[in-house]
């Protein structure tokens, strides 16, 4: 089942940098404006490694964002900007936050450790959504150049009694790391180096199955890298009696944050679909075609917040379509959907996004799974107002506002060995990159 390991993480030296100046959001959540801001904060900001600016690199020296990332990582280690733990550790990691659109303060608790990379066929690690080609290629180039993991893959496990959280957090004192990010999320990290506690945690996780919450691209990249560097099978986690468990090969594990899917503080936000470059798109024609499969209701109100409020109160698989001519609530006709989606597993037929991708994107708009995978005509946005504005400004033809996927549906689909469309979930808040680093060398 699940195998976890302590590790000797590389961390920023507190006498060299302020943590606030160097840690970042995950690479795929860094906007161009945030990227520029990170560059200005510190010459040692993690963005220079995980998402370098291409225009700053010297083509004549055959330098790329990836080779420069490797050079910076090596330099920061040799100069003492980054230092390595003396002992293998696991790290308790909590995040205190306010969900966007809410005033409720919540806390999500987990822990950082190495996790064994396992094939999906082993039915220990389960994915819940499809991946995109471009991000995996990009992350592979970075991993090949640096041989290190700078952010954690976000993993879910089930522990209704919350015994693992109690094991980690009972008696926690002053955190070893504390930082507030750009979205006012307070991150705290505690080092756990006691061998007895680590062994208890390893044993408690040994019967768990894991669902990838965030980091599908990085997980599949790391797994492919492990395959390419394997002389035999992936690591088994074997170790000598009395020693803490370690992967047999460094490539066979990746840095992960593990969170109990049964605990409070697990928030999933929707990811909205913005379609652009649709040849000959006509809003009236689109609505006429959609009426064969959906009950269509015109929406009043001036913007995304009102339309999302209406959507949240809708029982059937549904979403909001926004064009420059207005906004409409689309609800699947049950009798039509039953026939049109007959070849899709039952767990997925209940998902709003499956109705959207299969019936609208593929069948009505001609965006087949390959075009969606290559992001030919589609962008994904968390901010509903921005998604609507892109239509109004003429930067997009059509936006679909969606509900978040409930945790219960995600669990059902994942453990059934099935997947949702790309970018189905947006777990909030994000895990910071640069808190701990796992170097393979």
CATH number of the domain to which 350 belongs: 3.30.1760
Q: Quote the CA–CA distance of 308 and 319 in Å, as a whole number.
A: 9
Closest of 63, 49, 234, 247 to residue 148, by C-alpha? 49
pLDDT at 132: 78
What pLDDT is recorded for position 239? 54
User: Which stretches of 313-440 are DSSP H helices?
Assistant: 334-340, 346-349, 352-355, 369-373, 384-392, 407-415
Q: Are strands 153-157 and 253-260 parallel, antiparallel or unpaired?
A: parallel
Same domain, 324 and 390: yes
Q: Is residue 193 part of a domain?
A: yes
64 is a domain residue: yes
Residue 344, phi then psi, degrees to nearest 5: -105, 135
Contact between 430 and 26 under an 8 Å Cβ cutoff? The reply is: yes
pLDDT tens-place string over residues 153-190: 999 999 999 999 999 998 788 999 999 999 999 999 99
**Residue 109 covered by a domain:** yes
Same domain, 81 and 107: yes
**Is 213 domain-assigned?**
yes
Q: What is the pLDDT of residues 91-144, one digit of tens each?
A: 999 999 999 888 889 999 999 999 999 999 999 999 998 887 788 999 999 999
Percentage with pLDDT > 90 across the chain: 79
Total number of domains in the chain? 2
Of how many residues is the chain composed? 441
Sign of the dihedral through C-alpha 183, 423, 416, 216: negative
Least confident of 3-12, 184-193, 211-220, 417-426: 417-426
| Domain membership of residue 392 as a residue range | 271-403
What H or E segment, with its residue span, contains residue 288?
A: helix 283-290
Q: Tell me: do 282 and 233 sit in the same domain.
A: no
Within a domain: 434? yes
- What is the pLDDT at residue 56? 63
58 and 30 in a common domain: yes
The H-or-E segment that residue 203 falls in is helix 195-205
Within 10 angstroms of residue 191's Cβ, the number of other Cβ atoms is: 17
Instruction: Render the burial of 379-410: b for 16+ CB within 10 Å, e for the rest.
Output: bbbeebeebbbbbeeeebbbbbbbbbbebebb
Question: Is 93 domain-assigned?
Answer: yes
Does residue 327 form part of some domain? Answer: yes
355 secondary structure, DSSP code: H
**Are residue 165 and residue 188 in the same domain, yes or no?**
yes
Contact criterion met (CB below 8 Å) for 90 and 5: no
Give pLDDT tens digits for 256-270: 999 999 998 899 999
- In DSSP terms, 291 is beta-bridged to none
Residue where the block lists tokens 């952010």:
151
Looking at the predicted structure, is the pLDDT value of residue 369 above 60?
yes
Q: Which two tokens stand for residue 333?
A: 């006709």
Q: Residue 233 — pLDDT band, cuts 50, 70, 90?
A: very low
Kindly state whether residues 262 and 278 are assigned to the same domain. no
pLDDT for residue 228 is more than 80: yes
Query: Is position 416 within any domain?
Result: no
Residue 404 has pLDDT above 90, yes or no: yes
Instruction: Clarify whether residues 257 and 145 are in a common domain.
Output: yes
**What letters, b where the CB count within 10 A reaches 16 and e where it falls short, cover 36-71?**
eebbebbebbbbbbbbbeeeebeeeeeebbbbbbbe
pLDDT tens for each residue of 296-337:
999 988 789 999 999 998 888 999 999 999 999 999 999 888
Helix runs in 57-192, H state only: 65-79, 133-146, 163-169
Specify the pTM. 0.90
| Same domain, residue pair 162 and 292 | no
Kindly state whether residues 292 and 386 are assigned to the same domain: yes
Tell how strand 294-298 and strand 326-332 pair up.
antiparallel
Least confident piece of the model among 28-37, 154-163, 297-306, 429-438: 297-306
Rounded mean pLDDT, 203-219: 96
pLDDT value, residue 366: 92
Is there a single domain that holds both residue 190 and residue 330? Answer: no
310 and 221 belong to one structural domain: no
The reported pLDDT for the residue numbered 58 is: 60
Give 57's pLDDT tier (boundaries 50, 70, 90).
Answer: low
- Residue 328 sits in the same domain as residue 257: no
- Whether 59 has a pLDDT exceeding 80, the answer reads no
């Amino acid at each position: 089942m699940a195998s976890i390991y302590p590790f000797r993480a590389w961390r920023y030296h507190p006498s060299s940098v302020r943590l606030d100046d160097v840690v970042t959001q995950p690479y795929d959540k860094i906007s161009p404006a945030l990227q520029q801001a990170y560059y200005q904060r510190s010459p040692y900001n993690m963005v220079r490694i995980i998402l370098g600016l291409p225009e700053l690199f010297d083509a004549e020296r055959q330098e790329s964002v990836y080779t420069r990332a490797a050079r910076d990582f090596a330099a920061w280690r040799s100069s003492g900007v980054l230092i390595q733990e003396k002992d293998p550790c696991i790290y308790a990691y909590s995040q205190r936050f306010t969900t966007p659109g809410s005033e409720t303060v919540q806390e999500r608790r987990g822990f950082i450790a190495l996790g064994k990379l396992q094939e999906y066929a082993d039915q220990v690690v389960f994915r819940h959504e499809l991946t995109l080609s471009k991000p995996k290629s990009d992350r592979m180039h970075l991993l090949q150049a640096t041989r290190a993991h700078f952010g954690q893959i976000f993993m879910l496990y089930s522990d209704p009694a919350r015994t693992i959280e109690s094991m980690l957090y009972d008696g926690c004192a002053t955190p070893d790391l504390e930082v507030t990010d750009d979205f006012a999320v307070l991150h705290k990290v505690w080092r756990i180096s006691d061998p007895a506690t680590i062994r208890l945690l390893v044993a408690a996780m040994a019967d768990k199955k894991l669902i990838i919450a965030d980091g599908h691209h990085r997980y599949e990249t790391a797994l492919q890298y492990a395959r390419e560097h394997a002389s035999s099978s992936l690591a088994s986690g074997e170790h000598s009696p009395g020693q803490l468990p370690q992967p047999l090969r460094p490539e066979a594990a990746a840095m992960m944050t593990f969170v109990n899917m049964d605990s409070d503080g697990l928030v999933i936000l929707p990811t909205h679909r913005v379609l652009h470059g649709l040849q000959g798109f006509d809003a009236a024609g689109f609505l006429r075609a959609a009426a064969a499969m959906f009950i269509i209701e015109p929406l009043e109100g001036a913007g995304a917040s009102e339309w999302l409020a209406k959507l949240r109160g809708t029982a059937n698989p549904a979403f909001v379509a926004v064009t420059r001519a207005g906004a409409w609530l689309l609800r699947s006709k049950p009798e039509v959907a039953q026939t049109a989606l007959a070849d899709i597993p039952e767990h997925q037929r209940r998902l709003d996004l499956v109705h959207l991708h299969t019936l609208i994107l593929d069948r009505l708009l001609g965006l087949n799974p390959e075009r969606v995978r290559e992001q030919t005509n589609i962008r994904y946005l968390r901010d509903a107002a921005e998604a609507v504005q892109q239509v109004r400004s003429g930067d997009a033809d059509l936006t679909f506002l969606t509900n978040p996927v409930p945790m219960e549906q995600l669990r059902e689909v994942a453990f059934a060995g099935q997947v949702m469309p790309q970018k189905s979930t947006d777990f909030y808040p994000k895990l910071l990159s640069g808190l701990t680093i796992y170097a393979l060398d």
